[in-house]
Chain A
Amino acid sequence: MTLHAEIELVRGSFELGVEFDVPAGSVLAILGPNGSGKSSLLGSLSGLLRPRRATITFGGRELHGLAPHARAVGLLSQDPLLFPHLSAVDNVAFSPRSKGAGRAQAREIAHRWLAEVDAEGLADRKPSQLSGGQAQRVAIARALAGEPDLLLLDEPLAALDVDAAPAIRGLLRRVLAGNSTRATILVTHDPLDALALADHVLVMASGHAVERGPTREVLAAPRTAFTARIAGLNLITGTAVEDGLRTGDGRFVAGIPAKDTALGEPAVAVFAPSAVAVYPAEDGHPGSPRNTVVTAVTAVEPHGPIIRLRTEAGLSADLTPAAVADLGLEPGTPVRLSIKATAVAVYPIV
């Protein structure tokens, strides 16, 4: 079973044209800045928007001609949008009820899903009595309780505060991984969400796909300047250890592990090129950054107002043109990169 979608949409002067496949059991991240057409794309998939032309099939079933309620999609947006007049458990029971389950049966399903998202204790609360993170948990349970063929996640972590987001990200990772019959599409502007949740990524710019591929390949080695600018990340794979990660060749990378990182399990250390400081190789002062890498420059690429430096170690650094001139950087120049441990996040591998 695979979701196949070809969508063409016109809104005023904005044109969107994109086509992709999502096999059941996998997650496709659609990555792009605001205004790149991500939300219009989700609207077309859920049926809430009428595109000019759309072919959407899931395992041979044609979805594009159907009304939203008949498509078997689940939608989770950044606003939980729990029905304010229903308790948490009745919110979750809404979809089973709408699809024909009896009252008692729907409640039973709802309690099961609330337990699944660790929100069983919130069952009888009204949405106004829930925190943002709690409400998003209930909203996840509600979207999943309808057993959708297609799950659409629209920036599900964007509205959460920094304390709640990692827990919800971990929860999403768990519920997404435990399913093999559902296709999931995650729309986000945050490459970290894509990295944590998605198998594949599609990068969109002004209504069109500019790059696609396996998430880690695309994020670590963007082939287009656009992707590099919005989603380029330094990724180092290895094994999670106390306070960081150990690479296959025994190097230690100090970082902050995500909450659901298990020691000894495969993991990836992630940091933005902008978090990398560049020093001349012979400069002897290590300073406070725990991570230092001695390497040589392989490429100097301008990306709009910044210059991205690529190095032999496979890491990138973002600098201002003035800094590049000051340090006299060009391909072949030996440099020492340093990254503060607090700028490095360690995630389990999907």
Chain B
Amino acid sequence: MTEEDDATLVRRCREGDRTAFEQLVVRYQKPVFNAALRLLRDPEDASDVAQTTFLKVFEHLAEYNPSFKFYSWIYRIAINESLNALGARKPCEGFNGEEADAAPGPERQLEGQQTGRAIEEALMGIKPELRTVIVLRHFMHLSYQDMGEILLLPEKTVKSRLYSARQLLRDRLLQGGAI
């Protein structure tokens, strides 16, 4: 059986086929969860964001314009929900680093673990809008054009944010001796 494309699944969802929506969940739960995790650094919060994202997708499916990529739409919702969750955190409330570090599993080597932790900490130290472009580019492997669609920004601005974000990460990682 061939895998149905997003547009077909969306059309079936709109016709009331809940199994089609389930297929979209299976397809997108991992990238949505990971995007939220990288922005929030808390697996529980990331799960909450994923759940809210899919609920919003379901509720607003009738408004989705199929001439745009479905993944741009769902990622935009996921990013905005993550930023909302960040905004709702109390100033003193950090992130659950212990859980986030435990999540990758035992296969990670010590050196990689230390580098990984340093990167996660550096990421959490930069502004959310800069972290967002790093997440979209380096973890979700999206093009400048897709990033612009998701963030509703011109490509030029996307690039400018990405460059600033990388340079800030560089400064932080150099300071911490991680690179």
Q: Decide whether A and B are members of one complex.
A: no
| Chain B residues within 8 Å of A, Cβ to Cβ | none
